[in-house]
Amino acid sequence: MKFSVCVDALYMGKDIYIGMQEVSECGLKNIEFWTWWDKDIEKLRAEKERLGLEVKAFCTKFISLVEPALRNDYIEGLKETLKVAKQLDCRTIISQTGNDNGACRKEQHASLVAGLKECAPILEAEGITLVIEPLNLRVDHAGYFLSNSEEAFEIIDEIKSTNVKILFDIYHQQITEGDVTRRILKDIDKIGHFHAAGNPGRHELAESELNYNYILKQIDSTLYGGMIGLEYFPLADSSKELLRLAKLEKEGAV
């Protein structure tokens, strides 16, 4: 089991380089973040190499995939993101779908699929995976288009590319639908990245109604070889939980 620390979440409002330093000091080696366009990429690259860190994921530009008129903008934004990914030696890009625009849901679904089908050969040529993220509507993201994991997995089936998968956020899917372990195991081959946070509150994994000890063991029992992204807002000193998770990662247990 390998953990990737979302420094934009755990160190929100702080200098990202302080977060990177602390992650390294805690014994973890993988980081991710949300936005690249507000960062000095060359400085970030130099710092992650100095600290022996790897960048495992970050977001492409937030341009709606359910709006056909914005598709070319989305693809151009993705191409820019892929250039940054190559600079940082990152193989996974995170994408949101955009908000429900009020049109027929079937039409929006079709636009989303068509856009991702256009992206697939670009991603395949670069050897990079794009992961589409369902989000919960009830607590954090009212108005967002994609929330249900079943629909998300159907989209991946329609695209038919191993370079387009799902980011399964355990926190979001617990709020949206629950039964997360069964859903994960059923479609683990379509999942390219995980996010994890405690619920309610989106805090440390140990502060949760979710039994992460059980959930992570179940994921570990599959052929999934990717990251568990830690995307939460700490209640306490960040290093306390990171030290605990680094120990679990090193021992190969959860």
Return the active site residues.
Answer: 133, 231
SS3 state of residue 230: strand
Comparing CA positions, the residue from 55, 53, 51, 40 lying closest to residue 86 is: 55
Interatomic CA distance for residues 244 and 241, integer angstroms: 5
Alpha helices in 65-136 (DSSP H): 71-88, 105-126
Q: Is 179 exposed, middle or buried (0-12, 13-18, 19+ CB in 10 A)?
A: exposed
**What is the rounded CA–CA span in Å between residue 93 and residue 33?**
10
Answer whether 111's CB lies under 8 Å from 92's CB.
no
Sequence-separated (6 or more) residues with CB below 8 Å from residue 46: none
Q: Give the C-alpha separation, 184 to 96, whole Å.
A: 19
Place of tokens 């959860």: 254
Residue for token pair 């070319």: 72
R_g of the chain computed on alpha carbons: 17
* Cα 40 from Cα 13, distance rounded (Å): 16
